[in-house]
């Protein structure tokens, strides 16, 4: 089963720590689709921040796995993009304008969507490694 090492609080899925979480591709894909479906009616800041947190958690799960990064230049580039997005200084804070936080969340979703596809390539039997 694909897992990531996490800790912290149950409400903070993107904090790396000490207990393993399984990857739920359906839930991650739903989060990606919801974030990318946002168009003219921007959600409130609380929803944007919630989606960003869920997507950061998903990216951490994917980065903990061997998805063929050494053999795939595009995957290495996307991994670098993911690491940049996950850096604390890159994340929007309370002072960040809502639209900037929205764009950050959409970029998280775009990169996460790539990793969902990469995961499916490496695990054609299904969403969960058993």
For residues 31 and 25, give the distance between their C-alpha atoms in angstroms, rounded to a whole number.
10
pLDDT digits (tens, 9 = 90+) for 65-79: 888 888 888 888 999
Torsion (CA) 77, 30, 26, 18 in degrees, nearest 10: 60
Show Cβ contacts of residue 4 under 8 Å, excluding neighbours closer than 6 positions: 16, 20, 21, 23, 60, 61, 63, 64
pLDDT digits (tens, 9 = 90+) for 22-77: 888 889 988 988 888 877 678 899 999 999 999 999 999 999 988 888 888 888 89
Q: What is the DSSP string of 42-71?
A: PPPHHHHHHHHHHHHHHHHHHHTS--SGGG
Q: What is the pTM of this model?
A: 0.67
């Amino acid at each position: 089963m694909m897992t990531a090492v996490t800790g912290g609080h149950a409400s903070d899925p993107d904090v790396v720590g000490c207990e393993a979480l399984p990857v739920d591709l359906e839930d991650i894909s739903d989060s990606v689709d919801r974030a990318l479906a946002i168009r003219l009616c921007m959600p409130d800041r609380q929803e944007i921040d919630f989606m960003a947190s869920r997507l950061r958690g998903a990216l951490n799960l994917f980065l903990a796995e061997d998805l063929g990064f050494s053999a795939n230049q595009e995957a290495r580039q996307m991994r670098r993009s993911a690491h940049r997005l996950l850096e604390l200084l890159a994340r929007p804070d309370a002072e960040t304008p809502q639209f900037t936080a929205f764009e950050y969340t959409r970029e998280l979703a775009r990169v996460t969507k790539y990793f969902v596809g990469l995961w499916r390539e490496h695990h054609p039997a299904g969403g969960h490694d058993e």
